Structure 1
């Protein structure tokens, strides 16, 4: 292995950690965290998700997600409801306070993407995003 700054997992972690730490610091005064934002963003994309689906979408372990959703429910950000089509399934819905918080965080999240992609053409940004999705999917290879 060559120098650390040419090792892909190091580079990915370093970039991700820098963005996550700064983002967390910025949304904390609003009563949010990066994980809360991930849940709200996923529900903004599609409201009424099952916990398993939400776990996959947000990359938050189900046990961690359950505790997170409990605290979000206590804050009035989300509500659990039974699925009308499957009484055993619980769906998570965004509550009005969650919608308001989403509207406050959205411009911050958009600015982070803008800053992170400064100097990238639209095409380069799309290539980077596609490469990162592919890289994530490739990691399934570790499980076989």
Structure 2
């Protein structure tokens, strides 16, 4: 087998993704949050959800994991949960004023992080990068037809 002439694309992408992800985690932590809290707050702000099950699906985590995060968020006064009057087994989740405030704080941190990532790139380069990343994702998620 011949020696590789350069770093495999998947390895370069994995290393970059890990570095960017760690930096984003640190940015959110410095702003008083975490990735799960950010995803939950963002989803509650941007999507009309009827219940906790829909929230779990939208965030992309298991129901039990979401419950763990919501318990902590409720204890910290960020969200309230109440039973749906028409179906007592269903919980509806809403942001409190403190949750709204943390959302704004984390949104500012996320925007600053995104601006940091864009440093030195033109808008056209960002469009190209986004297109290339989308193509890489499609290459992995599209079934190979023999």
Calculate the TM-score normalised by the size of structure 1: 0.72
Q: Secondary structure at the match of 2:7?
A: helix
Could you say which residue in structure 2 is the equivalent of 1:5? 7
Q: 1:62 to 1:88 in 2, by over 3 A?
A: closer
Provide Cα deviations, 1:20-41, integer angstroms capped at 9, x if missing partner. Answer: 2223223324431121111111
Q: 1:132 to 1:81 in 2, by over 3 A?
A: farther
Matched, 1:106 2:111: no
- Whichever of the two has the greater Rg, that structure is 2
Larger displacement relative to structure 2 (28-37 or 117-126): 117-126
- Could you tell me which runs of 5 or more consecutive residues in structure 1 were left unpaired when the two chains were aligned: none
| 1:59-74 to 2 correspondences below 5 Å | 59-74=60-75
Alpha-carbon deviation of 1:136?
A: 7.0
Q: 1:99 to 1:3 in 2, by over 3 A?
A: farther
Higher relative contact order by CA 8 Å / sep ≥ 6: 1 or 2? 2
Alpha-carbon deviation of 1:131?
A: 5.4
- Could you tell me which runs of 5 or more consecutive residues in structure 2 were left unpaired when the two chains were aligned: none
Find the aligned partners of 1:70 and 1:84 in 2 and give their Cα distance.
21
Alpha-carbon deviation of 1:65?
A: 1.8
Q: How many residues are treated as equivalent by the alignment?
A: 141
